[in-house]
Homo-oligomer: A and B are copies of this chain.
C-alpha cells in the first residue's frame, strides 16, 4: 500500500492541519526531523498519488483519501498506546516511540480485534480520541487550564505537549487524566496558578497551565 515514510508524512500533515489551514514545508520538516528539500520531494509523490492537495509554494492539505489513511494510522497509534499502558503497564510517557513503530503494522483485522480485546476504548492514555474503524471519533471540548478564572473547575482530559518530560512532570504532580481540579488562585505577577486537586494544593506555572487541558 503506502510506505512507512508516506504514512508518517500523512500523519504529520494530519496533526498539523488541526491548527492551520495549509501546512507549510518547514512545519513538516521540523515535525518529521528532516529537511525542507526532502519534504518537497515527498509532497510531489503524495500529490501524484492524490493523497494531498498541493500547489508549489502554497502549502499542503490532505485529500479525502489522504485523511482516511491518516486517521487509520492515528487509530492504530492510539490503540497501541492504550494497549501498552493498560495491558503491559507502561507509563504514559513511555509509549509514544513504541506506538510510532506499531502504527505501521498493516493488518486492519488485527487493529479491529485489538480494539475489541480492549473493549473499544474512546481515548488514549494522553486523552486523545481514538478513531473507530470508519475514522469517526468525538473529541473532548478542551480548554487549557490557563484560560480558566479563579473559582473555575474541570477534569483533566488532555495535554497539548506530549513530550516525555512534560508527562513525567504531570505524573509527579499527580495531575493525570481524569483528575478533578479547581483554580483557587492566580498570581498576578507571573500568571502562575494554584490548583486544588483532591486535598492538595498544586502550584503550576503559566507554561504548564497552557499545556494542560480540561473539560469543564
A107 and B101 CA atoms in complex are apart in Å by: 10
A102 and B110 CA atoms in complex are apart in Å by: 11
Complex interface: chain B residues within 8 A of A106 (CB): 101
Which B-chain residue is minimally distant from A97 (CB atoms)?
B107
A203 and B105 CA atoms in complex are apart in Å by: 40
A89 and B102 CA atoms in complex are apart in Å by: 19
Taking a contact as CB atoms under 8 Å apart, the answer to whether B98 and A110 are in contact is: yes
User: Could you tell me which residues of chain A, from 91 to 148, have a CB within 8 Å of some CB in chain B?
Assistant: 97-98, 101-102, 104-107, 110, 113-114, 117
CB distance from A190 to the nearest CB of B (A): 39
Taking a contact as CB atoms under 8 Å apart, the answer to whether B101 and A113 are in contact is: no
Partner of A114, one of B88, B97, B105, B113: B88
Taking a contact as CB atoms under 8 Å apart, the answer to whether B105 and A88 are in contact is: no
A102 and B106 CA atoms in complex are apart in Å by: 10
Taking a contact as CB atoms under 8 Å apart, the answer to whether A117 and B105 are in contact is: no
Number of interface residues of A (CB under 8 A): 17
The yes or no answer to A169 lying at the interface (CB within 8 A) is no
Complex interface: chain B residues within 8 A of A113 (CB): 88-90
Complex interface: chain B residues within 8 A of A186 (CB): none
A105 and B104 CA atoms in complex are apart in Å by: 10
**Known A-B contacts A84-B110, A110-B84; A101 and B90 likewise in contact (beta carbons under 8 Å):** no
Taking a contact as CB atoms under 8 Å apart, the answer to whether A88 and B117 are in contact is: yes
Complex interface: chain B residues within 8 A of A105 (CB): 98, 101-102
The yes or no answer to A87 lying at the interface (CB within 8 A) is yes
Residues of A in contact with B (beta carbons under 8 Å apart)? 84, 87-90, 97-98, 101-102, 104-107, 110, 113-114, 117
